[in-house]
Structure 1
Amino acid sequence: MNCCCLFKKKSKKNISTEYLDSVNSRVNVLSTSELNCSKDENPTDIQKEIPAIIDIASINERATKQKWNVSSKFDLLCLDRILSPLKEYSLNVELPPKTLSIENVYGYQGIYARKNLYYPMDSPSAQPIIYFSGKLGILSYFSLKIQVFYTGHNRPITCMAIHPDSKICATGEYGSGPSIHIWNIPYIERADSRDYETNIVKPLFILNLDKRFIQTVCISFSRCGNWLIVIALNQSYISEILCYDWKKGKEVSCQLCHDDKVFNLIVNPFSRREFVTLGVKHIRFWSIDNLIHPVDNSEKNQNLTVSHISGAYLKSKTFASGTIKGDVYFWKNCLLSVVCNNVHKGPVTVVSPLPNNNFLTGGRDGRIVYWNEQHQPINEYTFDNNSCIRSIDAGGLEGILWGWGDGIGRRASRSFKGLNGGFKNRASVCSNSFLQELTRSNSLLTVSSNTYSVNVNNISNNLEILSNDEPVDEQKMADISYIVGCEDSSMYIFSQTDKEPIRLTEGSYCSSDGYELWGLDTHPLNSNIFITAGDDGFIKVYNLEKKELIRKKNYGIRLRSICYNPSGINIAVGTNDGSFFIVNENLDIIISAIIDRRATIYDLAYSPNGKYLAVASHDNYIDIYEVESDLGYYQRFMSCRGHSSYVTHIDWDINSSMIRSNSANNELFYWSLITDATKAIDPTSYRKVDWHSSKCILQWETKGIFGPKIVKNTTTQEEIEHFLSPCTVYCCDRIKINNDLQLLAVGDAFGNIYIYRFPAFSSDMKYQAFHAHGGPVANVKFAVNLKTLISVGATDGLVIQWNLENID
């Protein structure tokens, strides 16, 4: 029998006693009378686990602060002061003949997220893994290398639930008067099938909550599938429980849940009416009759002094809950029976049941602990990057799809006849028999007493090579045991056939601590390669064709900007401490490291001839370096001083002799590299220049992108208006399709991307708008293949690959 990646055989002798003794030395089993001996909770841990409350107003405020004291209603009259180039442009205000469609999303939303990753065993045979990121509901058919998206949300998604029949998904959002969208999970048999769309065109139902609510915290379908239970946060920051007869769109009941924060909602798989809520210093068991009310016995446990953030029912009908301090509590008949202390170092972020009475716990310490039927931790797996475990799913939908309460499940399926007429009876190819076989085997009693930690990164000098030319083995995908989502935006599959986890996707780690993703560039020669750099210290190289991360390296410092040199041999990287360095394209050699400034390097740009490197910093300077050779000799020969705020964007002209730049307080400056004092410089010479790039958001060619803009949701047909000014536009890039057509891509602070004809100098310019990111679009860049656009999100860590297609 193949051995699971969680375990490692050490010798033939039985060492189970040795291992359990070592575990018991770390884990203390307490009775309820000993609970008061535990230490106080860490307020920082509680704050990190509370779901983020963000709305458009805060994004506007944040954008305004970043751009000094400039009003979001920017005085557009100042655009008239920007003189036009002497070259004549023909004005074409019509819609561009190209549109965007999402092809792939790199990354998984691991911030403030729980229960946002599902692998329903009874799902369509192509085995979609369902999760959300930004404003997108994502169904990844990894065995087919296909992603399908639900794009109906106008605001970032905060929670998700799967119906007991595994063919329907519900997603909730935040913002005043949030809505819950209920939509079908499509059935895809083959990658070359033509009977599916990349976007889910229409939701089944949309439930609009009252304006007094500011966020949906968590949602779940009842065991019978007839009700949708919602935990929503009101304007007084008090959590309320709402119960919907969702097929009728009718609110059945509403009840105050708790006057403190609620983290999670768990449905009892053995009951049509019962569920559990967990939060700050409370855990409550509830029942739905005509009204929602707490179970009487649970009131005896309300003197708890510990916060519960995760939980799950086991096959024995015992409820296991994880706390903010790393403890695991066991509840029987709504009463506390046993407590295991110090299981994790820090919060137990997830409890996931397995088909038998075993279960898994994951924590912020980056460990997954395996528990046996006697509720003892018998082994563990540790990720080398120690990233917080945010979600684990073994495919049973909290036990419902494994037949726990099977009679109720049959009634739930019958109640949906006719609702999913497009679905036919079909058998799932997913099998979790491996876990069942493993837990019945005596091999569990012969595990190593030490933690078996597979080197996931498998790096040399902290460099990770992730690319694999071998195609995805469909058999491996069919033998999935469970999937894991981490806070660093990575997702893994633990399978029967591999002794190491399979990395499915990875974006960039963003957090409430200020970690963001800004650096992006595409390879100047290879149309399949692009690169990112973020505050997590990683440079990551992606392959567009393979749709995967192929290489990454952590430099241990916050990275802000990145760019290739014209040959693609070297990469310049700007940091948050004022330094920048040059590495080779394989990321294994640092060629040069230069520290001439003391604050963030916001932009870098090589001249088209490769002889110069311009570096823009928070110190209001642009430094020009002469590149003597590819071996690393960089000599500063010019500093451009004049901006009254930090420099955000730089463009070179095609002759490598002039620069234009934007600053944070909306200045547009032009610079010449002519240093000979005897040569006179024409003050209007910039009007004769052809520019090599168009990263500057404030220029004559982009005057038409500012003002009120309408973003239409193609799924719900809802229209939302935003006012774009230089303080709410973060990035732009242009591409030349042919001699008659150039396109401009623009990213704003609200997560939207716009496509214009270039130049877009008229306020009458028509555009196409697309929404996907859950926060500001930090950067956009076209690939040299003329058919791909890459966008990165500053706060959601998402990397999105867009296709540039002709409009039918």
Structure 2
Amino acid sequence: MSFTPITHTCQYNEEDGSMRMFLRGRPVVLYAPSDHDNLDPGKVAPPPQNKLKLEWVYGYRGKDCRSNLYLLPTGEIVYFVAAVVVLFNVEEQCQRHYTGHTDDVKCIAVHPNKLVIASGQCAGHDRLDARPHVRVWNSVSLATLAVIGAGHMERAVACVTFSRADGGALLACVDDGPDHTISVWEWQRDKHCLAETKCSVDTVVAAEFHPLERNQIVTCGKSHIAFWTLDSSNVLYKRMGVFETRDKPKYVTCLGFNHNGDVISGDSNGNIIVWGRGTNTIQKLVRGVHEGAVFSLCSLKEGGVVTAGGKDGRLVLFDAELNATGMENVIEGHYGGVRVVAEGKGRQLFVGTTRNCILHGDLELGFVPAVLGHVDEVWGLAAHPSLPQFVSAGWDRLLQLWDGLSHSTVWSKDIEERAHCAAWSGDGSVIAVGCANGRWLVYDPHSRDLMAAHQDGTEPIQTIQYSPDNQFVAIGSRDNFIYVYQSDGNGTKYSRIGKCLGHSSYITHLDWSEDSQYLRSNSGDYELLFWNATTCRQVTSPTSLRDAAWATNNCPITFNTVGIWPENADGTDINSCTRSHDERLAATGDDFGKVKLFAYPVTQPKSLCQAYGGHSSHVTCVRFLPDDTRLLSAGGNDAALLQWLVD
């Protein structure tokens, strides 16, 4: 055989039109369609003419981040999820996005002029541009004004705050490293670090410049509250808050300031403490305001204070002297506890929750969701076959139906199982969800009723696909088998016709042929196998199916997707692959938070692409909406769903 080396990972054999691709040293032989022209070994395939533009971000990071929701004068709320800072006008239902970050955003702060934003990120994938740092940017133009602290921080920027008494000339940030270093920067002029010192051996959860006192900073966290002064020689001095004989809390969880300039703190005991202005001593203690920790304090323009509980979900209004007014409300438990409260227009409040939701409303009339999200890794993502809708399913046991045009949640359902994959039937009449315990469930998208439930092994269901004629459903399991069921046509009754045996590792991806006769599958050890779907027998001669037309290209290891694999690729690098319905584009989601767009078919081993950031962890799934105008991507650890406009 005369193999022509194209890259060090691929060889092409002109005689039989086969490509030998090596993944982690394992050869995979892929056969070109019989009418495919011979490949030119030196040719580099150009990127597609189309580009992606981030249109919408579904989700919010409230489960483990604080002080991350603010209202801007533009009427937009600003918050973050994954590596994106979102500016969302709830009334007008439009979003803008700051996408300068390369990894998880962990904190934000708003400048006193309400125009400039600072956002801090964590360390990324060992790249120079992914070191922890703070980006300062204009919230109207979205232009980056300064990049602060790259090379100074260790793990992540835990807290960031602008000075307020001097018009916002300084920026302070706390590193999430072992010493929790606090640093103060002149961010506008020479981006110079004025002062830096160890903040605390314990976790720091909040840092705020004093609104009335120049060069005064307050920090709090595990077992402490600290009052800092930046003196004229740029040295930071610390005074610890003195709890005297009173119960010292495990955590001081949040900070605020009243109109007199006193510091207000909430703690893990459910207490609120007022610290006299300029002192480190307790002026007033209000016990047992909340059951469990006080997660947020919001000082209102008119002088009152709203406190919020993470465990009890209560919002309680106090007057300026911290006397209870009797006005309160409770956030429904399925939204999670309250993580942060931000003042809106008039009496309106915005509430971020521990289950990654943002609600808006007021204490009198109650609250409705503005943003819903997933709380854990999202692996299931499936677009409706004909409507601009899609479902997502995650390890948080949530199945959610979304509308891609109105960007709204149609419904959200707790399915009581960790979900790993999802699929629509060919006519859109049912949704199938594969779960982590070997169960797969079928739901009616209108009534949300469970229509069918089946169990195949005890390992996770990795992928599930309906045949184009809607007569069959194939289930790929982590137990190395593909289970094939016949459907009654309306998706409510299923009978198993067999299982495909032959893979030596877990099933990762499946495709049906357009005539619903054949399956192809990829596995964890980088195999591409073919199957007769009705007999569940392996087709041992791949050349016999080289001209088969496939309804989808979800398998990343195929001849038409050779070029999606970078040189030195580990077979686990690419988690998801999809082809547009017009067969002009292919998209991938990888382990490095990137969504990539290729011209399809991607048969040249050297193929250029358009690459896009936004996710901050592995991208678990990518899918086109049925009209190909939009691409959807799901994040793993970032639990975010991004919707991209295909230009």
**Structure 2 counterpart SS, 1:369:** strand
Would you say the 8 A contact 1:286–1:292 is kept in 2? no
Distance change in 2, residues 1:732/1:325 (3 Å): farther
Partner of 2:508: 648
Distance change in 2, residues 1:623/1:287 (3 Å): same
Would you say the 8 A contact 1:366–1:383 is kept in 2? no
Distance change in 2, residues 1:263/1:681 (3 Å): closer
What root-mean-square deviation, in Å, do the aligned CA atoms of Structure 1 and Structure 2 show?
A: 2.5
Distance change in 2, residues 1:382/1:585 (3 Å): closer
Partner of 2:372: 506
Residue 262 of structure 1 pairs with residue 207 of structure 2? no
Relative to the length of structure 2, the TM-score reads 0.88
**CA-to-aligned-CA distance 1:555-586 (integer Å, 9 cap, x gap):** 22222211110110111111111111211121
**Structure 2 counterpart SS, 1:385:** helix
* AA matched with 1:387: G
Task: Quote the Cα distance in structure 1 between the aligned partners of 2:579 and 2:461.
Answer: 23
- Number of aligned positions between the proteins: 607
Would you say the 8 A contact 1:109–1:134 is kept in 2? yes
Residue 164 of structure 1 pairs with residue 112 of structure 2? yes
CA shift, 1:146, in A, is: 2.1
CA shift, 1:319, in A, is: 2.2
Where do 5+ consecutive residues of structure 1 fail to align? 1-72, 188-199, 396-430, 436-480, 511-515, 709-722
Residue 283 of structure 1 pairs with residue 225 of structure 2? yes
Would you say the 8 A contact 1:161–1:170 is kept in 2? yes
CA shift, 1:649, in A, is: 1.1
Partner of 1:488: 355
Would you say the 8 A contact 1:751–1:772 is kept in 2? yes
Partner of 2:11: none
CA shift, 1:227, in A, is: 0.3
Task: Quote the Cα distance in structure 2 between the aligned partners of 1:745 and 1:591.
Answer: 32
Q: 2:615 aligns with which of 770, 773, 779?
A: 773
Would you say the 8 A contact 1:238–1:261 is kept in 2? no
CA shift, 1:376, in A, is: 4.2
Partner of 1:546: 406
Residue 787 of structure 1 pairs with residue 629 of structure 2? yes
Would you say the 8 A contact 2:153–2:175 is kept in 1? no
Partner of 1:10: none
Greater CA drift, 781-790 or 534-543: 534-543
**Structure 2 counterpart SS, 1:701:** helix
CA shift, 1:81, in A, is: 2.6
**CA-to-aligned-CA distance 1:58-110 (integer Å, 9 cap, x gap):** xxxxxxxxxxxxxxx98465455333333416878112010000111111111
Partner of 1:93: 45
Partner of 1:375: 322
Matching of residues 702-721 of structure 1 within 5 Å: 702-708=561-567
* AA matched with 2:548: V
Distance change in 2, residues 1:503/1:674 (3 Å): closer
Matching of residues 321-332 of structure 1 within 5 Å: 321-332=265-276
Partner of 1:726: 571
Residue 232 of structure 1 pairs with residue 159 of structure 2? no
Q: 1:314 aligns with which of 258, 268, 283?
A: 258
Would you say the 8 A contact 1:657–1:674 is kept in 2? yes
Greater helix fraction, Structure 1 or Structure 2: 1
Would you say the 8 A contact 2:531–2:539 is kept in 1? no
Would you say the 8 A contact 1:231–1:242 is kept in 2? yes
Q: 1:564 aligns with which of 398, 401, 424?
A: 424
* AA matched with 1:605: Q
Matching of residues 168-207 of structure 1 within 5 Å: 168-175=116-123, 177-186=131-140, 200=142, 202-207=143-148
Task: Quote the Cα distance in structure 2 between the aligned partners of 1:213 and 1:631.
Answer: 52
Would you say the 8 A contact 1:279–1:308 is kept in 2? yes
Q: 2:588 aligns with which of 746, 749, 756?
A: 746
Task: Quote the Cα distance in structure 1 between the aligned partners of 2:642 and 2:198.
Answer: 39
Task: Quote the Cα distance in structure 1 between the aligned partners of 2:237 and 2:263.
Answer: 16
Partner of 1:348: 294
Matching of residues 143-162 of structure 1 within 5 Å: 143-162=91-110
Distance change in 2, residues 1:177/1:382 (3 Å): closer
Partner of 2:127: none
CA shift, 1:267, in A, is: 2.2
Greater CA drift, 626-635 or 572-581: 626-635
Task: Quote the Cα distance in structure 1 between the aligned partners of 2:196 and 2:22.
Answer: 43
Would you say the 8 A contact 2:138–2:145 is kept in 1? yes
Task: Quote the Cα distance in structure 2 between the aligned partners of 1:308 and 1:499.
Answer: 31
* Identical positions, percent: 25
Partner of 2:527: 667
Greater CA drift, 171-180 or 539-548: 171-180
Distance change in 2, residues 1:592/1:260 (3 Å): same
**CA-to-aligned-CA distance 1:336-372 (integer Å, 9 cap, x gap):** 2444444333332212112234212223225133132
Would you say the 8 A contact 2:335–2:355 is kept in 1? no
Relative to the length of structure 1, the TM-score reads 0.71
Would you say the 8 A contact 1:366–1:386 is kept in 2? no
Would you say the 8 A contact 1:108–1:489 is kept in 2? yes
Partner of 1:796: 638
Task: Quote the Cα distance in structure 1 between the aligned partners of 2:256 and 2:506.
Answer: 50
Would you say the 8 A contact 1:276–1:284 is kept in 2? yes
Would you say the 8 A contact 2:196–2:236 is kept in 1? no
Would you say the 8 A contact 1:366–1:387 is kept in 2? no
CA shift, 1:724, in A, is: 4.4
Task: Quote the Cα distance in structure 2 between the aligned partners of 1:653 and 1:797.
Answer: 32
Residue 626 of structure 1 pairs with residue 486 of structure 2? yes
Distance change in 2, residues 1:694/1:160 (3 Å): same
Matching of residues 372-521 of structure 1 within 5 Å: 372-373=318-319, 374-377=321-324, 378=326, 379-385=328-334, 387-395=336-344, 431-432=345-346, 435=347, 481-495=348-362, 499-510=365-376, 516-521=377-382
**CA-to-aligned-CA distance 1:613-636 (integer Å, 9 cap, x gap):** 001112221100011231622000
Distance change in 2, residues 1:301/1:707 (3 Å): farther
Task: Quote the Cα distance in structure 1 between the aligned partners of 2:37 and 2:489.
Answer: 38
Task: Quote the Cα distance in structure 1 between the aligned partners of 2:602 and 2:595.
Answer: 15
**Structure 1 counterpart SS, 2:580:** strand
Distance change in 2, residues 1:572/1:135 (3 Å): same
Residue 364 of structure 1 pairs with residue 318 of structure 2? no
**Structure 1 counterpart SS, 2:155:** strand
Partner of 2:548: 689
Task: Quote the Cα distance in structure 2 between the aligned partners of 1:730 and 1:135.
Answer: 19
Would you say the 8 A contact 2:28–2:526 is kept in 1? no
* AA matched with 2:646: L
Greater CA drift, 384-393 or 767-776: 384-393
Would you say the 8 A contact 1:705–1:724 is kept in 2? no
* AA matched with 2:174: I
Distance change in 2, residues 1:654/1:357 (3 Å): same
Distance change in 2, residues 1:128/1:89 (3 Å): farther
Would you say the 8 A contact 1:646–1:663 is kept in 2? yes
Distance change in 2, residues 1:79/1:340 (3 Å): farther
Would you say the 8 A contact 2:380–2:421 is kept in 1? yes
Task: Quote the Cα distance in structure 2 between the aligned partners of 1:502 and 1:624.
Answer: 43
Distance change in 2, residues 1:594/1:297 (3 Å): closer
CA shift, 1:323, in A, is: 1.9
Would you say the 8 A contact 1:179–1:208 is kept in 2? yes
* AA matched with 1:523: H
Task: Quote the Cα distance in structure 1 between the aligned partners of 2:359 and 2:95.
Answer: 16
Partner of 2:126: none
**Structure 2 counterpart SS, 1:485:** strand
Greater strand fraction, Structure 1 or Structure 2: 2
Would you say the 8 A contact 2:476–2:510 is kept in 1? yes
CA shift, 1:388, in A, is: 2.5
**Structure 2 counterpart SS, 1:204:** strand
**CA-to-aligned-CA distance 1:243-276 (integer Å, 9 cap, x gap):** 0011121111111111121111122212122121
CA shift, 1:595, in A, is: 1.6
Partner of 1:471: none
Task: Quote the Cα distance in structure 1 between the aligned partners of 2:81 and 2:548.
Answer: 42
Partner of 2:158: 217
Partner of 2:8: none
Q: 1:246 aligns with which of 187, 203, 206?
A: 187
